[in-house]
Structure 1
Amino acid sequence: MATAQLSAIDKTVDKTNTLLREIEQEFGWPAHRRQQSYAALAAVLHALRDRLPLAEVVQLGAQFPTLVRGLYYEGWDPATTPAKLDRAGFVARVRRNFQYDVEGGAEQVVVTVSQVLRRHVSAGEWRDVQATLSADLRGLIAA
């Protein structure tokens, strides 16, 4: 039993590190910028979570590894979901929560992180997420 639990912990850590490594690779960051990739993932996940309708928040969250799911739900208040965010508001929210300077700014953070997330979510679920977004946001979030 203890071995199976450890395996589950190892698995979620590995999957989370894979996501973070992919973000770093997309930006061309070295691995020692892990805190920065984590902050980028958190900022985009929280903005997306707050923008989606409640049912879609839960369905998307179910697709993430346990560790990422915890990050996704951290600080969430379902009573405020969905927030009315257009493209500019979404990018501004990411910028507020991502305190690093990167080439392309917060908009590039959204594009890059959403591209990585897209590879780790089922095609059907990603289409569902896209369907809930306004046209201006769909143009920002990886299709």
Structure 2
Amino acid sequence: MTPIGLTKRQAVTLGLITERLNATGISPSYDELAAHLGLRSKSGVCRVIDQLVERGHLVRLDRRARGLGLPSSEAAIVAQMLERAAASAAEDGFSVRLSRPVAMLLLRRCEQTGRLPGDVIATAVARHLGGGNA
């Protein structure tokens, strides 16, 4: 039985990706998905993935090989927050790259304070540069 609103191919693709992510933490490659679905090209897989992302069943994780994640996964949440922080920083004219441990600290701080990543980063930098007064 397919989930409501998904075609059989979308449901099979989502099931395979979910199974692999839960087992290994890495999504299958487009070649593996194409072989499993009986498709001859990766473009068909790309269409199915795009539809699943559009419907909110998957999220794309930028700058990662096999960059697919489940919307509720910690990695997906961190990736989305980092994207927002980078976009916010780019608007202000600077760029920030965070390691995974620092990104996790940022995620926890944002959850605790209810603030956006860019605001938390700006406050931390201001406190550091101002000697703790900010």
Structure 1 length as normaliser, TM-score? 0.33
Structure 2 length as normaliser, TM-score? 0.35
Between Structure 1 and Structure 2, which shows a larger proportion of helix residues?
Answer: 1
Larger Rg: 2
- Structure with the larger RCO, 1 or 2 (CA within 8 Å, 6+ apart): 1
